[in-house]
Chains A and B, each alone.
Chain A
Amino acid sequence: MRFIDTSLIYTAVYETICKISFVCDPQLHEAILEAQHRETEDLPREILGMIIQNHNYASEDIIPLCQDTGTTLIFAEIGTDIHFSGKPFSETIQAATADAQHDCPLRASIVLEPIFERNNSKNNCPAVIHYELVPGDKLRLLVAQKGGGAENMSFMKMLSPSASADTIVDFVAEGVIAAGSRPCPPLILGVGIGGNFEEAPLLAKKALFLDLNGHHQDPRYAELEKRIVAKINHAGCGVQGFGGNNTVLSARIITAPCHIASLPVAVNLQCHVHRHEEIII
């Protein structure tokens, strides 16, 4: 049994939200530089240059990378040997979210009621939290600040198990191509294949936390990742819809077992700001 005081979690989450809102992930920065190097057309190359400049200015001026500072999203993988002391876990995360919003400051972007009042919570709460129990005594938190534009263009479908790999590549690519410039390309894609109606989108979201430059360990799925990227980049939407061959920087797939009658496929789109971090306590 390991005791973790939730004040430790508060500090880690608070600091992470602040950091990822202002400081670009070095691997992503590198990926944008590479995209600029690859880009053959002038206008998208210039815009990639502005994105690189933005990474520098955001750190220098301590100003958020994007005015849509996002929804706080947490995947909490909790070792079953942990006993939390102090304030309740979820309350701790919400407090860190609210305090980061106030202190940074970040934009209050959450409404409490979705249709009629759409009244702003004014502190970015609630954060979205997904819990998973895992063996051991470690706590792993995946933290993201997810913007609305790319989230709005995300999609899922219950495909027929007869669907071929080609059909899946087409489904993913066509959905992303149809989104055009709205999700703020260049994009990172998370693809969830299998599971059920709620699991596939969760897998897709979790795939956004995988290594940008990595590939699925099963070479057949690694091939699908590459084909999805190639097909979308061939279609020519490009950086911010200004053409060229850099609509997508990376596509990562996570799979899960599924029902004999089902083949759920979910695609979570992530804009080029891609604020995310892993915390291990």
Chain B
Amino acid sequence: MKEIKLNLPFTDAEINSLRANDKVLLSGIVYTARDQAHKRILNLLEHGKPLPFDLRKTAIFYCGPSPAREGRICGAVGPTTSARMDPYTEEMLKAGLRVMIGKGDRSEQTATLIRNYGAVYFAAIGGISAVLSRCIVSCETFLWEDLGAEAIYRMELLNMPVFVSIV
């Protein structure tokens, strides 16, 4: 098992160098999106409207954080079940997404799509929010605050441990 430090955004060569089960300490800017945010992103794409961030240069983290206590950078941060986002993944890949972070398996069909698009899916560990929260440098609500935990948050990660699941 290799341990690799990587910064977002990735080059194609960096993605190609990854192998399943590699441990990656991930740094850089990511945006969270769960079920409801995916619905809204797809709605924007369907209507040909621009997204407020460049999917090619970031990662989507399937995550709905808990609120931060006063004076803290963030609350509890961790991955939600990625398979729920499978129905949206093809459109996201078409729109340029190449890096996803979540929890658990993807469908066979989604795994094939991820490979065909030269993308990577990282599995983060579920239920270790206190560990992962120590890897968050900044966290702010970015879009659709009305969705609460399901809003899009912009987070900067520093050496967050994830494992290559599909590449």
Q: Which residues of A line the B interface, CB within 8 A?
A: 42-43, 46-47, 50-51, 53-54, 56-58, 60-69, 104-109, 118, 120, 122, 147, 149, 152, 180-182, 184, 240-242, 271-273
Q: Which residues of B line the A interface, CB within 8 A?
A: 1, 21, 23, 36, 63-69, 72, 75-78, 80-81, 83, 103-105, 123, 125-131, 133-134, 147-150, 161, 163
Q: Are A61 and B125 in contact (CB under 8 A)?
A: no
Q: Are A106 and B1 in contact (CB under 8 A)?
A: no
Q: Are A67 and B66 in contact (CB under 8 A)?
A: yes
Q: In the complex, how many angstroms separate the beta carbon of A128 from the nearest chain B beta carbon?
A: 19
Partner of B149 from A61, A107, A182, A240 at Cβ < 8 Å: A107
CB-CB nearest in chain A for B149: A107
Q: Are A107 and B76 in contact (CB under 8 A)?
A: yes
Q: Are A182 and B83 in contact (CB under 8 A)?
A: yes
Contacts of A60 in B (CB 8 A): 130
Known: A54-B127, A67-B78, A107-B75. A182 touches B105 (CB 8 A): yes
Contacts of B77 in A (CB 8 A): 67
Q: Are B148 and A120 in contact (CB under 8 A)?
A: yes
Give Cα distance in the complex from A107 to B67, angstroms: 6
Contacts of A65 in B (CB 8 A): 76, 127, 129-130
CB-CB nearest in chain B for A237: B105
Known: A61-B133, A61-B134, A241-B123. A149 touches B80 (CB 8 A): yes
- 20 A-B residue pairs with Cβ-Cβ distance under 8 Å, sorted by A, are A43-B163, A51-B125, A54-B127, A54-B129, A54-B131, A63-B75, A63-B76, A63-B133, A66-B78, A67-B64, A67-B65, A104-B69, A105-B66, A109-B149, A118-B36, A120-B148, A181-B103, A182-B103, A240-B126, A241-B104
